[in-house]
Structure 1
């Protein structure tokens, strides 16, 4: 048996891993999607299940108005003396040279909570890591952002002591490294082994130049020496490698004594574009320590492997996820997120119509505030996504349907609406770099009847289709390009991945309801 990378497929970036006894947990970034932070659980490092989203209320996290690819950046998990700690950044502004952000830590007695309200840390940069030293003292490490002219934006890694009793950072701030010539130094993770403090860093930026670099010092505040054969891992010189953009590592030691590193990677489309609509994913590599006290990939070289041997841990598979969500439970599945705002009975209900998810239309798909949209990650290049919706619009300002969504600028929307001439009808909206387009396909559909909607993704191509009876399906519109849903499409600097969503808009402000009977997510690969 082998472990196939990525271990967390689809949009799961900035992995932070810990082990507590025989349980392994990975926290990943969620950016503008609510609830904030997703924690996966495993007992064998091969089989993972989504377990909890700790930032699930407004007192912990307010994302209203944050820019796309803002919000939650690079959370870090830690554990000390029966308490779980989670550091996170909320980026509320990222325009121009500035980064308006706020950094916090929350705690919990169990990984499943209850998670506390946040303690404020600082706003000097992002990628915060809380290290618990063996003498009981705690330290926060983060990258320093510098917006000044002729300065390096990524100005190195700083540290400061954290007082849990006082609930704040205390003492002097010290820069511990400026990073290497790879630049873009971020993502600090600290470990202690054999008398050294090891500082694992992400460098080179989260794109093709990404890498993982190791440093060490005899004192926690340095000076840190650089691994003479840095970086540990990168695909920066291997543009054809199946796991591109590899870097931003996090280490864990198993109960058997072996060491592994989880890290960011991206799987590009096969058309040579380099675009990765599934977003930045999480993969796993075994690492070994040299006699000189440095880390190396167990497989040799610096490139991650698509397939690695399974661990010697006892296999622990989880129950397979069902294809269909019937919306029969009192709460939505952990796979669903909303945009920026919590679930609220004012716009979403699972009880008003039994077996349906009811959405009340609110703002448009370009809104940064109050959208009525729930969505889940697309995790495979080959998949079908299907729903059935009951919706009776009275105006062109009222819409509902199935959306493949990257952000407010780039999405594909198969939607039901109303037109003075066509009446109730089905059509496709394309938003390409913010340019609004209605494809010249308008299909009248019967009043008073539900309609089935489907999106099929086959690598580069996305095809919408519809049915009136769930048996006879017809394509609607042309095949659409999946690369438009990638984080680097049109050279934009974004960090999430493609989602499939169910949504409703009512630009009249009357909150007309749309009822969704089910949602199927079926992977075909």
Structure 2
């Protein structure tokens, strides 16, 4: 069996492509760098994170991008020996306007190097490229309409792309206004048996999310709506393990089977998804009338499905611990808005350690010294050991549970006028700052300090160990539902990260050295949580 989700933790908006016997899924990364994760499989069951697409500042500069902006909904396709990746860089999302710039990069290899971006348009988000049988290429994207008397999701627009001129050409045409479910987005075009099939996401990316289908004999329409839409949804079925089902993309295997990868969410408690939006897969089939259905007849996402008729292909297990012995960051590490550079992050200045130099605060949307990885299991542990000698209270270093600038939990070393070098917990909930001053302790004699988070569902506990001693709890058990897509004042899109960080608000660039980082997932709740 294949167990969903296949890509756990913040891996939304999947776009799948098959090249011979290899399958690749691209997922959104929002304000996190590098941009666009590429996952690889040969059997649609076992997956590995293979590479990233946007790895250079020349390809994407997200400095100042608001929370949950940046890289939205990539579309990965392949034609005539070349990979095409379309993506949106969102510069604003709240309010009546959305600034959504759409770009194209290409590469002969999935592992790059990828080209510098070609600008396409800014009329809406979720762009997708379709390669027609006659060699023409077409861009589709949702149209954002800021006029309050109109539906802001203004339909799906189509325009031809010229490879020779490297730009969109011809008239832009609105080919599909959507179904009564509304909020029509995430278009993908396919051609089968003389029909153009338009797969869209509707209902918003929350608990009313859905995948819908329409078709036409002409790419320009008119498009006939599937009479049994939505073809995939978990709307109003709270008993389902997989919620938020929608935003799909389909692929045909070399054995002639069909699969849809799609977005899902798994609530930790109530309707809160700390892990963010994830990727699941369903077996699909075409009925006699030429419409696409989940195999078995229902339109609900399945937690477990039968394997595909493909040879099993596994990958080596990822190590739990990073000893920072490489000169480059491991593939699971991410930074905010900008790539890591030697001025603030180095693995070579002190071999075997990650050295971070303090920069701006967690409020900053510009230059934070934070490196983090996704939380991918509901029950997990993360630990590190750091050496840090702060001179005053404006210098801090430690480990953080980070959703965005408004919500985080920070187990950090700093300096206090009375305690000296100290360890304590601070957090923000919807932007409101909170200090657990009763739990703050002096560690003046500590040369090194180990830090640990233990997360079980909606709860997290903090631990420390001084100079190689025993683990000791610090602070209260914390409810971390605010570290979720639903935890803020507005809907958000990224999921929780676990990170290492340093701040120096005095501007002197004080550094901390991290000896290792361990991340492990557990299937059984630890005692006491």
- State the TM-score, normalized to the length of structure 2: 0.98
Aligned to 1:253: 252
Q: 2:324 aligns with which of 323, 327, 348?
A: 327
| Alignment partner, residue 162 of structure 1 | 161
C-alpha displacement at 1:420, in angstroms? 1.0
**Match status 1:365 vs 2:348:** no
Q: Determine helix, strand or coil for the equivalent of 2:54.
A: coil
- 1:11-49 Cα deviation digits (max 9, x unpaired): 000000000000000000000001110000000000000
* 1:267-416 paired onto structure 2 within 5 Å: 267-269=266-268, 271=269, 273-416=270-413
Q: Give the SS at the match of 1:292.
A: coil
Task: State the alpha-carbon separation in 1 of the partners of residues 20 and 280 from structure 2.
Answer: 22
What is the CA distance between 1:446 and its match in structure 2?
A: 3.3
* CA shift digits 1:84-130 (9 cap, x unpaired): 00000000112311101211000001000110000000000000001
Structure 2 counterpart of 1:47: 46
Q: 1:413-450: CA deviations, max 9, x gaps? A: 00000011110000101101001111121111134511
Cα distance in structure 1, aligned partners of 2:493 and 2:473? 31
For residue 526 of structure 2, what is the aligned residue in structure 1?
none
Residue-pair matches, total: 522
2-side partners of 1:23 and 1:482: how far apart? 38
Paired residues of 2:2 and 2:305 also in contact (CA < 8 A)? yes
Comparing 440-449 with 412-421, greater Cα deviation is found at: 440-449
Assess if the C-alpha contact under 8 Å between 2:423 and 2:440 holds in 1. yes
Query: In structure 1, the residue corresponding to 2:44 is in which secondary structure?
Result: coil
Map Cα deviations across residues 447-476 of structure 1 (whole Å, 9 max, x no partner): 451100000001111011111255511111
Q: Which residue of 2 aligns with 1:199?
A: 198
Paired residue secondary structure (2:208): coil
Q: Which runs of 4+ in 1 moved over 3 A?
A: none
Match of 1:466 in 2: 464
Q: What whole-Å deviation, never above 9, does each CA across 1:224-247 have from its counterpart, x for those lacking one?
A: 100011010101120221101100
Paired position in structure 1 for 2:519? 521
**Aligned partners of 1:129 and 1:263: how far apart in 2?**
15
Distance (Å, rounded) in 1 between the aligned partners of 2:485 and 2:466: 35
* Rounded Cα–Cα distance in structure 1 between residues aligned with 2:414 and 2:296: 55
CA contact (8 A) 2:82 2:106 kept: yes
> Displacement, 1:492?
1.9
1:84–1:108 contact (8 Å) kept in structure 2 = yes
Change (3 A) 1:173 1:101: same
Residue 150 of structure 1, CA deviation: 1.4
2: distance between equivalents of 1:522 and 1:300? 38
Distance 1:106 1:427 in 2: 45
Task: Give 5+ residue unaligned stretches, structure 2.
Answer: 524-529
What is the DSSP-based 3-state SS (H/G/I as helix, E as strand, rest coil) of the residue aligned with 1:173?
A: strand
Partner residue of 1:14?
13
Q: Structure 1-normalised TM-score? A: 0.98
Superposed, 1:109-148 pairs within 5 Å as 109-148=108-147
How far apart, in 2, do the equivalents of 1:412 and 1:523 lie? 19
Rounded Cα–Cα distance in structure 1 between residues aligned with 2:399 and 2:296 = 43
> 1:23 corresponds to which residue?
22
**1:62 counterpart residue number:** 61
State the distance in 2 between where 1:151 and 1:242 align: 36
Contact 1:69 1:495 in 2 (8 A): yes
SS in 2 for 1:121: strand
Q: Using the alignment, how far apart are the partners of 2:386 and 2:494 within structure 1?
A: 27
Match of 1:150 in 2: 149
- Supply the distance in 1 between the matched residues of 2:53 and 2:61 (Cα, whole angstroms): 14
Q: Is the 8 A contact 1:21 1:255 kept in 2?
A: yes
Q: Secondary structure at the match of 1:311?
A: coil
Deviation at 1:154, TM superposition (A): 0.5
CA RMSD of aligned residues (A): 0.9
- Confirm whether residue 106 of structure 1 aligns to residue 117 of structure 2: no
8 Å contact from structure 1 (residues 392, 448) kept in 2: no
What residue in structure 2 maps to residue 487 of structure 1? 485
* Contact 2:446–2:466 (8 Å) recurs in 1: no
Aligned match for 1:449, one of 447, 457, 462? 447
Contact 2:140 2:187 in 1 (8 A): yes
Kindly state the Cα deviation for residue 177 of structure 1 after the two structures are TM-superposed: 0.5
Answer with 329-338 or 440-449: which moved more.
Answer: 440-449
Query: For residues 490 and 112 of structure 1, do their structure 2 counterparts lie closer, same or farther at Cα, with a shift above 3 Å needed?
Result: closer
User: Would the aligned equivalents of 2:86 and 2:127 in 1 still touch at CA under 8 Å?
Assistant: yes
SS at match of 2:481: helix
The CA distance in 1 between the partners of 2:315 and 2:331, in whole Å, is: 15
Equivalent residue number for residue 430 of structure 1: 427
Q: Distance in 2 between matches of 1:482 and 1:259?
A: 39
> Structure 2 CA distance, aligned partners of 1:479 and 1:141?
48
Contact 2:430 2:489 in 1 (8 A): no
Unaligned runs of 5+ in 1: none
Query: Matches of 1:448 and 1:261 in 2, distance apart?
Result: 53
CA drift of 1:491 comes to 4.6
Contact 2:420-2:444 at 8 Å conserved across structures: no
